[in-house]
Structure formats: structure tokens, C-alpha cells
A and B are shown apart, each in its own frame.
Chain A
Amino acid sequence: MTTASEAPAVGLTHQGSEDTGLGHRGPASKSIVVPYGFWLFILSDMVLFSALFASYATLVHATDGGPATNQLFDRELVAVETLALLSSSFVCGLAMIAAKRKNMQLTQVWLLLTGLTGLVFLGIELFEFGKMIGEGAGPQRSAFLSSFFTLVGCHGAHVTAGLLWLGTMMAQIWAKGFRQDIIRRLLCFSVFWHALDIIWVAIFTIVYLIGTLP
């Protein structure tokens, strides 16, 4: 809650009262509260995506005479795209290790790489979208394509927001150093970035793999 209460909260011995189980030791420190709240936000984001998945599952066969899944998707391209995103997450993990060691140069380099691989992912996605729209398979074509563009596009929008956040984080670390609150933010960013991977794995499986079954 405050930096002053942070210190005693860590080693707080709760004298005079019997042990009562969970969470009885007084307010948790900021380093616990902040990531906890962020995890809750991620959970609500997962619910958001699950509603988009539900929409996709409902509408996937509603092609209105237009192209269906296995006429549109390119497995190889999506494999490269997936590789870019997963390696971005891996590099993000390296950045976190460097930040923990307060190594400014390495942190910045790894974060830059995180951003670049994220950009590659986003570029491939935009290329795929552009190609589909060019072939007349844009989101206005059918309910299936509406739901496809919304689900995958919403993930893409999250990646874009993540990149904006990443850029801001890099500038902040540069300007302010490895301050406690900055580190907490970086931790939240990495949770966000990994969560996008989890969602992508689901998209990869449900949309692309199942969609390209012969």
C-alpha cells in the first residue's frame, strides 16, 4: 500500500492473535498487490477472448457461400508467425533476467529484440490480412470472416498495445533506472506478453490447425 508499510509487512510477526489462516498478517506489500491485480486483469482479458472464441466457433461455418477456412489459411506462414511470437516471449524472459541483475545494456538489447520479433509477428499478420482482403475475403464477406478478423485482430491489437507499452517501458528504464516501481511495471508487462502467447497458441490450434485439416 505504501512504501512505509512495505517494510514491516515483509517480516510482520502478528503477535497476540492466534493464527487464523490465509491473509491474516495485514496488508500485503506492493510487490505482491500490484502483480496480483494485474493477474486479475489478465484473467478478465482471457474471458474477453473466450467470448471471441465462442463467437468464432458459432460462426465458423457461416460462410455465406464465400471461402471456408481450408481455402484461406497458409500453415507455413502461420508457423513462422508463431515462431516469431514465441521467440519474442523467450527474449522477454531474458530481458527480465537482465533487469533482475540491473544490467542496463542487456535489458535494453533484449527488450529491443522482444519488440522487433513482435513487429515481425505483427507484420506477418497484417500481410495475411491484406492478402485475404485483396482476394475478396475481407471481414464484410461473411459472418465467418467477421469473426475470424475480430478474434485474430483483437489479439493483434493487444500485441500493438503491448509494443506501445514496451517502447514506453524502455524509455522509462533508461530515464529512471531500475527503480522498484519500474521493475514492478516490467513484471506486469512480461505477464501481459506471455499471456498473449497463451492466447495465440489457442488461436493457432483452433483457428489455423483445425481450419486447415484436410
Chain B
Amino acid sequence: MFGRLTWDAIPFNQPIPLITSLVVILALGGVALWITKIKAWPYLWHEYITSTDHKRLGIMYIALALLMLVRGFADAIMMRAQQSLAIGASQGYLPPEHYNQIFSAHGTIMIFFVAMPFVIGFMNFVVPLQLGVRDVAFPTMNNVSFWLTASGALLVNLSLFLGEFARTGWLAFPPLSEKAFSPGVGVDYYLVALQISGVGTVLTAVNFVTTILKTRAPGMSYLRMPVFCWTSLASCLIMLAAFPVLTVALAELMLDRYLGFHFFTNDGGGNSMLYMNLIWVWGHPEVYILVLPAFGIYSEVAATFSGKPLFGYRSMVFATMVICIVSYCVWLHHFFTMGAGGDINAVFGIASMVIGIPTGVKIYNWLFTMYGGRVRFNVPMYYLIGFMLTFVGGGLTGVLLAIPPVDFIVHNSLFLVAHFHHVIIGGVVFALMAGYTYWFPKAFGFTLDERLGKIVFWCWFIGFHLAFMPLYVLGFWGATRRMQHISDPSWAPWLNVAFVGAAIIGLGIVLTVVQLLYSIKTRDQRRDITGDPWDGRTLEWLTLSPPPHYNFAVLPDVHGEEAYWTRKQTAIKQDQLIDEPDYQPIEMPLSTPVGVICAFFATVCGFAIIWYIWWLAILGLIGAFAVFVWYAWRDEHEHIIPVEEVRANARERRRIRMEHLHELSQST
């Protein structure tokens, strides 16, 4: 009846996961009770859960990412603590099978459920606003994408309480991940969760490529799009072409595990290196899926806070698209040690180094954007400068690793671990924190506290270097990754420094939460009345903060490369806004529960597959199909916002703008 699911699945004899999951369940229950008490469920249901508004979905993606960041960081600090404690005679506090689950969960969660939703969250929130349109191409599908991602995250976290997670590392390499060596439910949790969230990601990619290529404001030609839109386009193109390969790799592993196929097994002619190739054909482009939008965020920040147009806009676009293409030609550098031969390794080594060239172009562009500008040192600018200082180092160790003979020496060592954290924290995380600070006022109508924001930056910056520079040293000394126990006591000081670094990052994460709560409490001191708190240059700053559901009362008419800046300067010079346009009623898509219901059935079906409860899996599939048919039968697609409402809102915004404009005109 319940397949493999028995009472043994609950870890009664393991205090750490048991207590953690009880705390999480109590916390979630508490939050649910609190929401019930303040009667916020209807609001949440209508305005967020069933919303098709890209801004609301963006906020939900980022909320999910921040929540998962806490979980992923808890894994990280546990690993660092174990490696600091389990030296020499001591065995530390985590048994090997638990330690292995933790490093697997850390990688899986940080990439799939922190970095991805964070980046996609920004795309959701920012791209339609920057393009000057009212929503993405497929608003309902957007909602479905989010809930499928959330469904994957839920399943991964469920493994804490029911069963176990994979002990195979974040990419579940066979043959270790095959049934013969990993008979438990851990790998199945991993596979099913990633398949479900992967569907969501492909749908997101379809949605955003269509949005960027087919729905832009009048006059917004390709070479007038803000760089963040370009990098989002590149990132989504990579998603579109890379995620299906991940789906295939994981599906083949599932067939091996569930139906006894022989894709990657040791017997029957299976070939585990096929999995390596497939997973890295997805895995390396994935790095660029994350880092290209990050580069986009830095570009927006650099231009805005330097008070200058981005230096070398066209070269930035060109560099982005070059990286987009070359990212497909480097996957083999993850396993030079496979033994493909000198010629093949040389080709992939050179291709990997070539990526450094367009990236270098970008670094110079940001530097020259700052050069001669009136640089304002707000929090996002701290992250930009911190990023440039950090990322160049991470890039250089990447070039080192791209040399096959060097790679043979440090393959799978802590040197590698230090390298990819160097580029992901220094490149992606810093950008996400910059973007979070930069666009927060647009989303909520008030800015975040600057002083706490700067402290958070220093926590990340100092914490990162303390945590990972020692790992470079240890990697050179031959320390391999994923060790539950350290036998050489001379490594202890370096591991302790790394632990201190992780703790400082932890302080930064705590202070991020404190900053959010404090900023909400004191929001009246930092209201963003004008909708343009940073003196921005792109179209999202044209509308109110937070923007109305329909973003723009009339679609902006774009002239020149910096759509909003040009318009703003003309207005300041003439001391007047453009003539009031002829407002029309606006049709907007209806909110719909189809996404959350569909994800519910996906979760049920996925859970049933993990535990071999076949009748439930079939019920889940039938349920999902029924939802689709029910949704396809709808007759109402849109609701109309009356012209009076549009006009009233727009006039109010024009009044505020005019006041602001007078101030500006007088001051210049």
C-alpha cells in the first residue's frame, strides 16, 4: 500500500535531522497560525499564490531563494564545523553517512534552489519593466514555473524528515548513484526533485526568450535593451538548450535505478562516463546561466551609481553572446582525467581559457564606466567593487584549472572547491545581494537600511576570503574534497580559519534578516516617493514604486539607448513632463490557481515515485492532466482595468513627478 514508506523512514535514532525537522515543522506551523490570526490567507492567495503578475512571482522566487539560502548555509556551517573538529583522533560529530548527505544537499540546494530561483526572480521582476511592457509573454505559465520550482524544493527538504538525502555529491555520479551502491531513497529524492524543478526552468526559459524577443515597448530595438535584458536573454537561451540534457541524464539514471536498465551500470555494457558527459553538457552552461544575469546586474549598478552610460555597451552585448555560445564548448574540462587524450583535452582547455577574454572585456567595461563618473558609494556599488576585486582572482584560478596537466594535480581537491566558490560567491552571490538592495525599493516602495547593508557586505567579503583562501592552500597540499575526517593535524589551523570565515558569512546572513526587519520597521524614514530612488537610467524607474499591476499606464515610447535617462533629462531641461497621453482601459491576465494545483499533483506524484507507491503516482498524473483540461476549458482570460482607474493613478504619478522635477530643475 505505501511502498517503501514505513515508520523507519522517520530518523528517530538520529537526533540532528529529527530535531531540525521538528523545529522546521513547528516554525512553519507557527507562521501558518500567525497568517491565520492576522487573516492574511485570502490576501496571500489572491495577490501572491495565484498571481500571474511577474513582479509578485519575482518576489516569491526571491523569498524562496532566501529561505533555501538559510538551509544551504546550515549545511555549509555543519561541514566546516565537522572538518574543524574531526582531526586526528577525533571523529567529529557527524557520522560519514550523514556528512555525505550534507555536502550533497548543500550543493544541490545552493545551485538549484538558491542561485537559480534568485536569478530567475530578478528576471521576473525586472525584465518586463525594463522592456517597458506589462507582463511576460505567458503569465500563467510563469506561475506554473514558480510552483514547480517550489515543489522541487519541498521534496528536497522533505528528505530531512522522511528517509534520507543522496550521499553521492551534488551531481550524483554513477556508478555510486546506481541502485547497487545507493539502494536507499536518497538518490531518488534528488532525481525526482530535480526533474520537477527542471520542467519549471525550461518553461521559464521559453517564457523569457519569447518575452525578450517578441514583446518590447515601441522603439525598444535590440541594441536599446538594457544589458540586464541581454544577459537574461543569453541565460535563458542556455537554459533552453542545456536543461533538456539534464533531464535526459537524470531520466536515464532513473531508468537504471527503477527498471534495471544499463546506461551507467558497471555490468551489461553500461558506460558511466556517458553520464559525466551529459551532466556536464548541462553543468558547465549552468554556470553561465547564473553568472550572465549577475553580470547584467553589475552593469546596471555600474552605470547608475557612476552617473554615466555603461562604457562599451555594444562590446558588452557582444561579449555576453560570445560567452553564451562558447559555454557549450568547454564541458570536458570537468573531467580531463577521463583520459580522452592530449588533443581533446587541449581543445577543451583552450576553449575554457577563451571564455576569459569576453569576461575580461566586461571587467574593463565596468572599470571604464566608473572612470570619470561621479561614483556614489551605495551598497550595490560596494558589491560591484568587491566583485571585481574577488572575481578576477577566481577567474585566474579557473584559467589555471583549464590547463590539463595542472588539473590532473588538483582534480577533485579543495583547490577546486575554493575555485568554484570563488567565482560563484564573488560573481553570483555578490550580484544577487547588489540586485536585492538595488531593486528592493522598486518592489516595496522603500529602500533598505544602508548602514546594515554595508555591514552585511563586509561580512560576505571578509568571510568569503577567510573561508576559501585556506582551501586553496590545502588543495595544493593534496587535500581532497568531501572528507569527513582529516588525518593530518597540520591542516587544523587552515581549517579553523575557514570555519571562522564561514561563521562570519553566517553573521552576514543573520544581519540580512535583521536589515530586512529593521528596514520594514523604519520604512517611513526611507520611502521612495518618486519611484526613482537611485537616479536610474532604465525604464523600471519610470513607474511608481511599487509599480501598479499593469506597470505602465501607456507603454513608453523609447528613444535612444538609455530609455528613461533620455526622457528624464529632457523633462528636467524643459521643466515639464511629456504631454498627458490618451489613457485606455487595460486588459490584464486573471490570477489562477492552476499553477499551485498542478504543483500539488506534481509533488504527490514525485513523492509516490520516490517511495514506490505506484497507485498514488498514477493518481497524481491523472490529477495533473485533469487540471490542464479544466484550465484549457476556461472562457475568461483577462480582466479589464477601467480607464478611470488608470487615469487617476497616472495623474497622481505625474503630480509627484512634477514636484520632484521642479526640485531638480531648481537645483541645476
Contacts and interface: CB of A to CB of B under 8 A. Distances in A.
B245 A47 contact: yes
Given A1-B137, A3-B638, A41-B206, A146 B215 contact: no
Contacts of B165: none
Interface string A1-33: 111110000001010110011111111100011
Contact of A142 (B206, B262, B274, B558): B262
Interface string B267-283: 11111001001100100
B219 A17 contact: yes
Nearest to B256: A146
A195 B271 CA distance: 30
Contacts of A52: 248
B135 interface: yes
Contact of B248 (A1, A43, A48): A48
A51 B198 CA distance: 16
Interface in B516-563: 555, 557-559
A181 interface: yes
Interface string A48-85: 10011011001100111000000000000000000000
Given A24-B216, A44-B205, A150-B261, 17 more contacts: A2-B588, A4-B584, A14-B219, A21-B222, A40-B206, A43-B240, A44-B243, A47-B244, A48-B248, A51-B245, A54-B277, A59-B263, A59-B270, A63-B269, A146-B261, A150-B263, A185-B632
Interface residues of B, number: 69
B575 interface: no
Contact of A59 (B241, B274, B585): B274
Nearest to A5: B587
Contact of A64 (B206, B249, B261, B268): B268
Interface residues of A, number: 56
Contacts of B260: 139-140
A28 B218 CA distance: 10
A105 interface: no
Given A4-B584, A51-B244, A141-B268, A24 B278 contact: no
Given A51-B245, A139-B259, A143-B262, A1 B215 contact: yes
Contacts of B584: 4
Contact of A48 (B218, B247, B256): B247
A27 B214 contact: yes
Interface in B224-256: 224, 240-245, 247-249, 251-252, 255-256
B255 A146 contact: yes
Contacts of A185: 632
Interface in B635-657: 635, 637-638, 640
A43 B213 CA distance: 16
16 contacts: A4-B586, A16-B557, A23-B222, A24-B219, A28-B215, A36-B210, A44-B202, A44-B205, A44-B240, A51-B244, A55-B263, A62-B270, A143-B262, A146-B262, A146-B268, A172-B633
A144 interface: yes
Interface string A107-149: 0000000000000000000000000000000011111111101
A20 B558 CA distance: 10
Contacts of A144: 269
A21 B558 CA distance: 13
Contacts of B268: 64, 140-143, 146
B232 to A, nearest CB: 15
A164 interface: yes
A37 B264 CA distance: 34
B362 interface: no
Contact of B133 (A27, A59, A64): A27
A197 interface: no
Contacts of B244: 44-45, 47-48, 51
B36 interface: no
Contacts of A205: none
A2 B590 CA distance: 11
A32 B137 CA distance: 11
Nearest 9 interchain pairs by C-beta:
A62-B269, A20-B221, A143-B269, A2-B587, A48-B244, A27-B215, A51-B248, A146-B261, A64-B269
Given A36-B213, A143-B270, A17 B206 contact: no
Contact of B216 (A27, A32, A36): A27
A43 B207 CA distance: 13
A146 B633 CA distance: 39
Task: Name which of B137, B138, B218, B256 has the most chain A CB atoms within 10 A of its CB.
Answer: B218
Nearest to A52: B248
Contacts of A12: 218
A37 B221 contact: no
Contact of B274 (A1, A4, A55): A55
A168 interface: yes
B134 interface: yes
A37 B138 CA distance: 9
B217 interface: yes
